Structure 1
Amino acid sequence: MFSTVLVANRGEIAVRVIRTLRELGVRSVAVFSDADADARHVREADTAVRIGPAPAAGSYLSVERVLDAARRTGAQAVHPGYGFLAENAHFARACEEAGLVFIGPPAPAIALMGDKIRAKETVAAAGVPVVPGSSGSGLTDGQLAEAARKIGTPVLLKPSAGGGGKGMRLVRDETLLADEIAAARREARASFGDDTLLVERWIDRPRHIEIQVLADAHGRVVHLGERECSLQRRHQKIIEEAPSVLLDEKTRAAMGEAAVQAARSCGYVGAGTVEFIVPGADPSAYYFMEMNTRLQVEHPVTELVTGLDLVEWQLRVASGEPLPYAQEDITLTGHAVEARVCAEDPARGFLPSGGTVLALREPQGGGVRTDSGLSEGVPVGSAYDPMLSKVIAYGPDRAAALRGLRAALADTVVLGVPTNAGFLRRLLAHPAVAAGDLDTGLVEREAESLVPEGVPEEVYAAAALLRQPFPADASGWTDPFSVPSGWRLGGTPARTFHHLRVPGHDPVRVGVRRGGDGTAELDFGHAGEREEPADACGPLPARPAPEGSRLVEVSDRRVTVELDGLTHTFSRADSPDGVWLGRDGDTWHVLDHDPVEASLSGAARSGADTLAAPMPGTVTVVKVAVGEDVVAGQSLLVVEAMKMEHVISAPHAGTVTELDVTAGATVAMDQVLAVVTPGEEA
């Protein structure tokens, strides 16, 4: 076994690899950019080395800087995690040339399987069924469009390099091929440095099932069963589970053997994943899609049902150990489900979010595991992938695992950064998900129904309740006996209950337990302890407590409430009576002693002609100039954040009268980008 291993990654995967290194007694080396100087993986590693500025191109994607960090710290091997350089054949060769062991497959296997076109040809020759599509690499835009027309829409455009759904485009309308090909090339070039594309037939209502393989350098290859990854948004997996309810033992064995043959066909060594597209109506008609030559984000569900630590076996195989397992030794026990918690705001169309982690609560134990790169006080920016953590639940059967994961997500708090945790919890309760009736389009079809409308009434109640700061004397000291907080000498603070009315809603009973650190926990409709007499609201109807964590941070001018995965902020207004203002998207809600709600639409606030950045990010494309006439819906700019593109379109026909950014500019959320003044007819 190695004595020192450098982890060439960041976030939750770096923390997860460091955990296994610690268990094996191996010294860990972390690398970090300027944006990650205070990150959790930096603090948890034995040694950490700064490798460059925040942009990944000058830090995490710099082969030279990563290798220099390994040389300076005496590392013997490099674990690439996933993303960044994990599937970069040049990096694997550079490690070997530098005398380092790359903890992954040989460079030729990475190069072969990283080229999806060659990969399909190779596995097809080994007898593995593949999806019909274009043939040959280096196709021009015209050749790609012609191949798509021959296959017939709908078709899927895919980058030949890379993975993770980046650059993939589903095209149902033939007239949009040119624009979609250009967009797919841009995303592929930005994500992988290679804009080569291929076209594949789109299989309607497919299921995405992948097989985990493990191979040593002595010729033994085994598979560790399958993972169901059909719950996706924009071709990005968000829920994964093992095993799949779709497969019977015969199909599982056949797909497992196909995955083993695919791995053998490229001389694979280490942990890898063979991905298949499977028609839901006929699981036996499966097709090879691609092979991921690295550890997968969803590897924990396989670890929980097999009892194997995949990172440990990556290390053992890389150090030359043979696998002690034959295929018949691998058994699957119980069921595991994983949810990816991302910095994105479902209420704003799942746009990337950001902010500082003000408070953090992540469940562990009791069949629940959280792999996370988060810590309190650390900012979440737009430079990297939006995934923050993974919450995984294990149970004796699928129903138990789903219940455990829903409960774990309800107990997950990332205060200060809007996340998709609440959305994921609601998705897991969807009847189709509970029944195992999945396909890769289910989330997109149901997404709107899984996003709550407006701000929960409890948020208004919390803001109204907490609008007065703690009383303090001239020295700044607060007398706990003067605060109506339920504080007890030498004991746990009791909850104090209040009845509050928000216009348009039923009365709400809110119980508050205030801590001494400026936070407060809220309960709604909770009975017990000390209750204040009902006010003018009158008798309150019985109401169940809503699911989801409720955590509040309080200061003199600001209240931040986390509820059901969403973060809501209320600030004291600059007015004599000091009302509270709460912002939800483009609507401002005014809260007073007797809360009165008022709103201003985004158009009234900033002007219907004004186009603002929907998220913090970088302007990658500017397609217009000042003075140019545009039509309604015309694409004007592209903003990229967390590896996702967002097109800014003209709200109506008119003339571009103001353009405040250029390509490459960094923009903040709601920053004005352009103004389109309507023409006389409009």
Structure 2
Amino acid sequence: MFDTVLVANRGEIAVRVIRTLREMGIRSVAVHSDADAGALHTRLADVAVRLGPAPAVQSYLSIERVLAAAEQTGAQAIHPGYGFLSENVDFARACGDAGIVFIGPPVAAIEAMGDKIRAKRTVMAAGVPVVPGRSEPGMDDDAVAEAAVAAGFPVLLKPSAGGGGKGMRVVRSAGELAEAIAAARREARNSFGDDTLLVERYVGNSRHIEVQVLGDAHGSVIHLGERECSLQRRHQKVIEEAPSPLLDTSMRASMGRAAVEAAKAVGYTGAGTVEFIVDADSPRDFFFLEMNTRLQVEHPVTECITGLDLVEQQIRVAAGERLPIDQSDVSLDGHAIEARLYAEDPARGFLPQAGTVLGLVEPSGPGVRVDSSLAVGTVVGTDYDPMLAKVVAWGPDRETARARLVGALGRTAVLGVTTNAPFLRALLTDGDVVAGTLDTGLIERRGEELTAAEPVPWSVHAAAALALQLEAEPAGPVVDRFDVPDGWRLGEPAWTVRRLQAPGGEPVEVELRGRAAAAELRVAGGVVPSRAVRVGDDLLVTVGDSTVRYAVAHVGGSVWLAADGHVTELREQERLASAAAGSGAGDGVVTSPMPGTVTVVQAAVGDEVAAGTPLLVVEAMKMEHVLTAPVAGTVAELGVTAGQTVALDERVALVTPAAPAPEQQEN
């Protein structure tokens, strides 16, 4: 067994691998970029080594720097986690050349399955059914377009390299092809360094089911059941569960055999996942999608129902050990569901968010597991994937697991960074999800039912006003009565007004007087006794007859409050007014909908454009967003260049609306 293992990754997966290494008594080495200096995974590891600047290509994707860190620390093996270098065949080969064990499959297996074109041919030879389409290597744009037309719309463009939904585009008409091909190639090139595309028939009413396989170097390959991953948006998984509510015993055995045959076809060792697409209208028809030659994000649900630590098995197999069980020993106990917590705003089209974690509440309880890299003070930037944590719940049956997960998400709060937690709870309580009637288009069909921002209750505005009042009051005994901003004066105390506004909401005026611990609020002409006191790191707020305990944090003029799964940011309205005053320039103003980096500028000052014409592309956390002209007119201002970073709501361009056509005079 190894003495020292380097973890070539970051975030929650690095934390998760390091914890297993610790349990196995193996010395762990963390690596980090400048953006992750002091991150949780660097503090949990026995040793932490700096790789380089924040951009992944100069740090986590640098094979030379990762291998240098391994040599420097005496690491005998490297665990790549998922993403970054986990499926990079050049990295796996370089590890072997350097005498370091790559904790993953052999180079030949990565080569065969890492290229989706070659993978389809390999499994077809093994008798595994595949999705119809065209997967010839080296197809140029014209060949891709021709293949799409031949397959019939809608079709799916997929990068041959990589995964995670990056670069995938659904194309529904010939008119969309040119732009979709360009965007897919660009995103694939940026994410994987390879812009090769393949074309597949798009199975619209589909379910995404994957099978976990495990193999050793002694010829044994088994499967550990399946995971249902049909709840997706933009081809990115959101909720995963095991086992699938769709499969019966016979289907599970059939799909499991196909997955094992696919793995054996490439001499697979370690943990891997064979992904299938299933027609929801004909569930016994399944097609091979791809094989991920690494650990999956959703591996915890398999661990929960099998009792196996997949990371430990990866390490033991890499060290030459045999699998501890065979297929007949595999049994599935209960049900597990996982929710991915992202730094994103569902009400704004799931755009990535950034910020500093000011406060943190993570759930616990029977059957609840949290894989997280979060800590108070963590800076969530735009350099990497927006996934922050995974909340997992196990139960003896599916409904128990689902209910536990809904409850756990209600006890999850990240203050300082907007997350998708309310969306996850809404999704898990959707009628079809409760019934297990899932497909990959469900989230898109539900739309605003799941993503619309709920109005902020008046009581939360009141709590924020009291929190600001408490913060403004001097600590300790009061020496000068006029130092206390409670409206005191001779006669009746004065009312003070705080105007608060949630992002995207309307301003709300909260009138109060007195100190926070014994205040009065005026609501609709009536006076309500109120009270706010600190209880540890939380705030206990009483308004009238209602008392709520909030996790609270504030920075600048923003107050973050969390209670019962709802996290709300409220800003003092004056700050919002001054910020808005600097940006008003009519309907032609273009602002960045997320913090990120400008990757492409497609227009120039002086260009005549129609409404909807692409102007530039902003990329954040591996996701592209095309900014278009809001009105027809002339590009009067373009204040950014490719490679420049922009902030949320930063003004990047201005289109001067075209003058209205003169009215025709009557003859």
Aligned in 2, Cα 1:439/1:75: closer, same or farther, shift over 3 Å? same
**Does 2:417 match 1:397?**
no
Equivalent residues in 2 for 1:245-644 (5 A)? 245-453=245-453, 455-457=455-457, 458-470=459-471, 471-472=473-474, 501=523, 512-515=532-535, 519-521=538-540, 550-554=550-554, 557-562=557-562, 564=565, 566-571=567-572, 573=574, 605-644=584-623
Instruction: State how far apart, in whole Å, the 1-side matches of 2:582 and 2:283 are.
Output: 50
**Does 2:644 match 1:670?**
no
Mapped contact 2:154–2:171 kept (Cα < 8 A) = yes
RMSD: 2.7
- Other structure's SS at 1:122 match: helix
Equivalent residues in 2 for 1:124-163 (5 A)? 124-163=124-163
- Other structure's SS at 1:139 match: coil
Percent of residue pairs identical: 61
Mapped contact 1:344–1:419 kept (Cα < 8 A) = yes
Structure 1 position 562, deviation (Å)? 3.6
Which residue of structure 1 lines up, in the alignment, with residue 82 of structure 2?
Answer: 82
Instruction: State how far apart, in whole Å, the 2-side matches of 1:243 and 1:509 are.
Output: 52
* Residue-by-residue CA offset, 1:388-407 (whole Å, 9 max, x unaligned): 00000000100000000001
Aligned in 2, Cα 1:405/1:495: closer, same or farther, shift over 3 Å? farther
Mapped contact 1:15–1:44 kept (Cα < 8 A) = yes
- Other structure's SS at 2:146 match: helix
Which residue of structure 2 lines up, in the alignment, with residue 652 of structure 1?
Answer: 631
* Residue-by-residue CA offset, 1:408-443 (whole Å, 9 max, x unaligned): 001001100000011101110000100001000101
Structure 1 position 629, deviation (Å)? 0.5
Which residue of structure 2 lines up, in the alignment, with residue 243 of structure 1?
Answer: 243
Q: Aligned partner of 1:515: which letter?
A: V
Which residue of structure 1 lines up, in the alignment, with residue 109 of structure 2?
Answer: 109
Aligned in 2, Cα 1:477/1:43: closer, same or farther, shift over 3 Å? farther
Structure 1 position 294, deviation (Å)? 0.2
Structure 1 position 555, deviation (Å)? 6.8
Mapped contact 1:625–1:659 kept (Cα < 8 A) = yes
Instruction: State how far apart, in whole Å, the 2-side matches of 1:68 and 1:477 are.
Output: 61
Mapped contact 1:459–1:568 kept (Cα < 8 A) = no
Mapped contact 2:558–2:569 kept (Cα < 8 A) = no
Which residue of structure 2 lines up, in the alignment, with residue 6 of structure 1?
Answer: 6
Instruction: State how far apart, in whole Å, the 1-side matches of 2:581 and 2:622 are.
Output: 27
Mapped contact 2:560–2:567 kept (Cα < 8 A) = no
Which residue of structure 1 lines up, in the alignment, with residue 209 of structure 2?
Answer: 209
Instruction: State how far apart, in whole Å, the 2-side matches of 1:614 and 1:224 are.
Output: 42
Q: What TM-score results when the alignment is normalised by the length of structure 2?
A: 0.89
- Other structure's SS at 2:447 match: helix
Aligned in 2, Cα 1:498/1:71: closer, same or farther, shift over 3 Å? farther
- Other structure's SS at 1:120 match: helix
* Residue-by-residue CA offset, 1:187-230 (whole Å, 9 max, x unaligned): 00000000000000011210000000000000000000000000
Structure 1 position 320, deviation (Å)? 0.3
Instruction: State how far apart, in whole Å, the 2-side matches of 1:327 and 1:454 are.
Output: 48
Which residue of structure 1 lines up, in the alignment, with residue 185 of structure 2?
Answer: 185
Mapped contact 2:529–2:544 kept (Cα < 8 A) = yes
Aligned in 2, Cα 1:369/1:607: closer, same or farther, shift over 3 Å? same
* Residue-by-residue CA offset, 1:39-72 (whole Å, 9 max, x unaligned): 0000000000000000000000000000000000
- Other structure's SS at 1:468 match: helix
Structure 1 position 527, deviation (Å)? 5.1
Instruction: State how far apart, in whole Å, the 2-side matches of 1:437 and 1:495 are.
Output: 50
Mapped contact 1:147–1:199 kept (Cα < 8 A) = yes
Mapped contact 2:467–2:532 kept (Cα < 8 A) = no
Instruction: State how far apart, in whole Å, the 2-side matches of 1:644 and 1:478 are.
Output: 55
* Residue-by-residue CA offset, 1:489-525 (whole Å, 9 max, x unaligned): xxxxx9989766489xx999987452365x5255789
Structure 1 position 566, deviation (Å)? 4.2
Instruction: State how far apart, in whole Å, the 1-side matches of 2:617 and 2:404 are.
Output: 40
Instruction: State how far apart, in whole Å, the 2-side matches of 1:523 and 1:269 are.
Output: 59
* Residue-by-residue CA offset, 1:130-179 (whole Å, 9 max, x unaligned): 00000311101111111111110010000000000000001112210111
Which blocks of at least 5 consecutive residues in structure 2 are unaligned?
A: 487-515, 662-667
* Residue-by-residue CA offset, 1:217-255 (whole Å, 9 max, x unaligned): 000000000000000010000100000010000000000
Mapped contact 1:345–1:566 kept (Cα < 8 A) = no
The aligned length equals 627
- Other structure's SS at 1:469 match: helix
Q: What TM-score results when the alignment is normalised by the length of structure 1?
A: 0.87
Aligned in 2, Cα 1:649/1:455: closer, same or farther, shift over 3 Å? same
Q: Aligned partner of 2:651: which letter?
A: V
